[in-house]
Amino acid sequence: MIDVFIVILSSIGALFILVAAIGIVRMPDFYLRQSVTVKAATMGAGFMLIAVALYFFDFSTTTKALAVIFFLFVTAPVSGHMICRSAYLSGTQLWDQSVLDDMKGKYNIETETLKSGFEEDEDVKNQESDIGDMPNDDFAE
């Protein structure tokens, strides 16, 4: 019975990896390729490692497989995000039919600084806190 689960998990993992491989070929720009590859390949590797953990039903192998799954799921999205951000900041063009560019206008090339978009809100909060610190004549002694 456990062999059936192993076959199912490894097949699902192989399908995810196949989707990642097809995504590399089919997607029109770097950012979409990176997104598909990171998500699908991470899921595929995770399913494959679960199948390995079930096949070699040993404490040492299972622990190692679960540790690899944990670190893969933690580090793959972060590294994919950082690679895409560095590609954007280095000037890699978006697909010409892209609808949304969230980082447009937030990066200053001369100072190499990136705005978060919340700077206006922080300025308003700072002004409000400055007003609250002002002495009030009604309660003056």
Q: Is the pLDDT of residue 133 over 60?
A: no
- Tokens representing residue 101 in the block: 């560019």
Question: Does 131 score more than 60 pLDDT?
Answer: no
Asked whether the predicted pLDDT for residue 37 surpasses 60, the reply is: yes
Overall average pLDDT of the 7-18 stretch: 96
Q: What is the DSSP string of 44-67?
A: HHHHHHHHHHHHS--HHHHHHHHH
What tokens does 91 get?
């000037």
Domain parsing of the chain, residue ranges:
2-93
28: helix, strand or coil: coil
> What is the pLDDT, as a whole number, of residue 69?
95
Dist. CA 2–CA 114, nearest whole Å: 51
| pTM of the predicted model as reported, rounded to 2 decimal places | 0.71
* pLDDT of 88: 85
Q: What does the pLDDT look like over 42-55, one tens digit per residue?
A: 999 999 999 999 99
